[in-house]
Structure 1
Amino acid sequence: MTGVRPTVLFVEDDETLREATVQALTLEGFEVSAHADALSALRAVTPAFAGVIVSDIRMPGMDGIAFFDHLRALDPEMQVIFTTAHGDVAMAVEAMKNGAADFFTKPYSVSRLVHAIGRAHDRRALVLENRRLRDALREREHRRIGGSSQTAERLQRLIAEVARADVDLMISGPTGVGKNFVARLVHDLSPRRDRPFVTVDAGVLMHDDANLILFGRDPSVALSRSGLVERAQGGTLVLDEIESIPERAKAQLLSLIDTRRFLAIGAERPRSVDVRIIAISRSAGEGERARPLDPALLHRLGGIAIALPELANRREDIPDLFREFVAAFEAELELETSDLGEAEWRHLLSHDWPGNIRELRTFARNFVTGLTRIAQGSARGAEPQSLREMVARFERAVIEDALRDAKGQVDEVQQRLSLPRKTLYDRLTKYGLRAKDYRR
């Protein structure tokens, strides 16, 4: 059973048994809501109910099976445990086949019931947490990660999985790929989401008293202060640019990672802290040199890692990302924009984006505010051609690939491209393509 105090909704029409069971469960640390009939209990349950329902089967008015049907209509994964007399065992077994968590024959052992409630509560907590994560991913991941490519989808799945696992993490990638966004997203999707999120800029530690900033000064000495590690208690501690951690702080940082204990300046004894550590490392992009990461830190923090790719390696996401940024800036600045011009589209699709997502975001903001005006042909490596010409070249290439893969079989090409037959033949004529040239 988890450390959360579970809620139990207990339904029993026998007053003596109801009061005795409520008292026993309360003594075991449960929050118990008691009801004499199923109808009043049903009024107390919503689809978001996080507890466990323990109900008799034989009751006046609505019986336990009808009650169970109503609960399943609210949420098919509601956790329900039945108590029953010997003559109702067959009904209880049938209810379990339909999704009930467990059943107990009267008189039942309170200790066994307590264990069953604990197991059911853990299952319910997992169900609700998974739903929350899915909802959060729908609301946040696409906005923050952006794109619908296979690379983006893999990142989204990995972030969701890592967020659930309360372990230390290394996030790496070149400048501007969104490492800090991902760190925040992992925190927001984790069980620590309501606890502190504290970022340590290791680059600043190079010029200041690193141990004081990280670990603080003990209250027993003058000018005491809490450090960033202590302020992150219960939450997430982010070590940004981990390769810049100064040598004078490295030994105690390694000890913190290993033991979750630290020694404040002036303290006689180390203190314990409950934090998740996320390290952010800047790997080298094209034309850059990466600073080496201390092997001891890499060994401890690099077991679980998220490597974010350069934007140039996920070009198919650029249009989606750009549109998301434009929509966000239009809402923020209360501005409306027209579509991109030809030169802007050429820049968007052909530029290498060395500044990655950060550069694209700046480009989108400048576009919304009217600052982006690109001269024709100025995009790097772009030939002077209209957007219509670019689309035509792309369309022809897609049809040629389909013809090649289908060995010139027009029916298969039509199915692959989801095109009406007449439209496909029109495109073949337009681009001077002949299906028989691809038959082998």
Structure 2
Amino acid sequence: MTELPHLDVVLVEDDQSLLEATVQALSLEGVQVRAYSDAETALKSLTNEFPGVVVSDIRMPRMDGLEFFSRLREVDPELPVILTTAHGDVEMAVEAMKDGASDFLTKPYSSVDLVRSVRSAAEKRALVLENRRLRSELGKRSDASVLGSSEAAQKLRTVIEAVARSEIDVLIEGAAGTGKSFTARLIHDSSPRRGRPFVTIDAGILAHEDADLLLFGREPSAGLSRTGLLERANGGTLFLDELHFVSDQTHSRLLAMIDKRSVIPIGADRARKLDVRILLARNPDAQDLSPPQLLQLEQRLAAVRITLPTLAERRSDIAELFRHFVRVHERELETEAGGISEEEWRHIQTHDWPGNLRELSGYARAFVLGLSSLEPRPLPFSGPRPLQQIVADFERSLLDDALRRCGGNVAPLQAMLQIPRKTLYDKLARYDLKPRDYRQ
């Protein structure tokens, strides 16, 4: 249920004694009341951002309750209005209910009935305002996973908006490069947990020799202690990002954490409760690589599943996405892209983009640097060879081609390949490739 930190009510009643009695009854229940004896004044005080409920009499001089209700619909058609009426006005109240009024109470009504009706309407109002905030948040976001006007992109935004406001765990499924990490972060930032910890656990952490220490932490011992990543996520969101390997021991402890929402640090004798929402990313193309215990983790968290579309499934978004990535890389590289040829634009819109958003972003980055015509040459296949040799040959060929395109200049080469400078020099040395040999 949506949290209701307080209840706000605008009360409109021309009977002064009834007005004062109703204010007192609501105040005793912790409701914040703004009381008015006429609808005109109340109307001036209300906007579409009002977080509460309007309670109004029907029979009033000048502007009656029905006209007041109609005018409120112009301010905000989703503003909850509870009408109070004498027996002779029930038919009018019923008609107002058909037009969208939240409820009507027949005088004399009890304070219990009034508070119950107000609370019900306030809960719905809180959901309406939260949905508006989420839609606004999604509209402001420039995460590529939700950009676009295709049916697939619109459906994705709708699903993210729906799951973000809940507390349920989510399995985010998508091919490589479709934006699983972006989506996880967007769900967190659009949820009631926004502003709280967002902790990512990936395959690199689980492959670490001290994986259990990193995850679960350690109780103070001989002056040494460490808070694990799971506890750091307490109160926020835990993102499990494509876990393709996990030891049997760590797997068992993760399952226990998911089931019990608690963690036992190394050396501790009792569990500590965790308040975490869990998001798990999975690449369905790598499913055959997942050992049985990983499939158990996925099954635990698959009650709600978001499937991210590939670029091939949202081809009409490619042009908008490319422009978005160009703007991003222009800001990052502090430079402006040159013009684009018809041939290159045709390539962008017709290419299959098997690497999806990641590949398109890389191409846009190369375009900003004036290197977008780079397309690695396919390696000739000469019969069975060890995988390591095939990968090495491909990597050398890619570096050789990149060096030629960059004229032996390391800075644009590093920017295009998006790898640390030390890693780049290590690879060049490994394949005996010297940048000076490519300079003209």
Aligned residues of 2:131 and 2:161 also touching (Cα < 8 A): no
Tell me if the contact between 1:243 and 1:293 (Cα under 8 Å) persists in the aligned partners: no
Identity of aligned residues (%): 54
Supply the AA of the counterpart residue of 2:36: H
With over 3 angstroms needed to count, the CA separation of the structure-2 counterparts of 1:18 and 1:265, relative to structure 1, is farther
Measured in 2, the distance between the counterparts of 1:268 and 1:84 equals 63
CA–CA distance in structure 2, aligned partners of residues 207 and 194 of structure 1: 29
- 1:370-401 CA-to-partner distances (Å, cap 9, x unmatched) read 233459xx898xxxxxxxxxxxxxxxxxxxxx
1:127 is aligned to 128
Structure 1 stretch displaced more, 76-85 or 322-331: 322-331
Q: TM-score, normalised by structure 1?
A: 0.74
Instruction: Name the residue aligned to 1:398.
Output: none
1:101 positional shift? 1.2
Residues of 1 paired with 2:318 and 2:215: CA distance? 38
Q: Work out whether residues 243 and 281 of structure 1, in 8 Å CA contact, stay in contact via their aligned partners in 2.
A: no
Tell me the TM-score normalized by structure 2: 0.74
Cα displacement string for residues 330-380 of structure 1 (whole angstroms, at most 9, x for unaligned residues): 4555644343225533543455544332121021122123233459xx898
Mapped partners of 1:200, 1:121: distance in 2:
38
List aligned pairs for 1:191-340, cutoff 5 A.
Answer: 191-218=192-219, 222-284=223-285, 290-292=289-291, 294=293, 295-311=295-311, 314-330=314-330, 333=333, 335-340=335-340
Work out the CA distance in 1 between the residues paired with 2:58 and 2:211.
64
- For structure 2, list consecutive stretches of 5 or more residues without a partner in the other structure: 379-440
Distance 2:235 2:79 in 1: 30
With over 3 angstroms needed to count, the CA separation of the structure-2 counterparts of 1:246 and 1:101, relative to structure 1, is same
What's the CA shift for 1:238? 0.4
Q: Which residue number corresponds to residue 77 of structure 2?
A: 76
Corresponding residue number in structure 2 for 1:53: 54
| Change beyond 3 A, Cα 1:334–1:117 | same
1:355 is matched with which residue? Answer: 355
Match of 1:184 in 2: 185
Aligned residues: 376
SS at match of 2:114: helix
Q: Deviations over 1:13-71 (max 9, x none)?
A: 44443333233223323233333433333233210112111122334554323322221
Equivalent position of 1:389 in the other structure = none
Q: Is the 8 A contact 1:344 1:374 kept in 2?
A: no
What secondary structure is seen at the aligned counterpart in 1 of 2:33? strand
CA distance in 1 between partners of 2:310 and 2:93 (Å): 57
Check 1:293–1:129 CA distance in 2 against 1; reply closer, same or farther (3 A cut): farther
1:103 aligned partner, one-letter code: F
Counterpart mapping for 1:87-106 below 5 A: 87-106=88-107
Tell me, yes or no, if the aligned pair for 1:168 and 1:278 is still in contact at 8 Å: yes
Relative to 1, partners in 2 of residues 1:77 and 1:339: Cα closer, same or farther, differing over 3 Å?
same
Q: What residue in structure 1 maps to residue 367 of structure 2?
A: 367
User: Take 2:10 and 2:196, find their aligned partners in 1: how far apart are those partners?
Assistant: 29
Closer, same or farther: CA 315–125 of 1 in aligned 2, 3 Å: same
- CA separation in 2, counterparts of 1:379 and 1:186? 39
Instruction: Output the CA distance in 2 between the equivalents of 1:130 and 1:233.
Output: 25
**Matches of 1:317 and 1:346, distance apart in 2:** 14
Secondary structure (helix, strand or coil) at the match of 1:238 reads strand
Residues 283 and 290, structure 1, Cα contact 8 Å, conserved in 2: no
User: What's 1:64 paired with?
Assistant: 65
In structure 1, what is the Cα distance between the partners aligned to 2:350 and 2:256? 48
In 2, the alpha carbon distance for the partners of 1:52 and 1:86 equals: 23
Query: C-alpha separation between the residues in 2 aligned to 1:167 and 1:238?
Result: 13
- Structure 1 unaligned blocks of 5 or more: 381-440
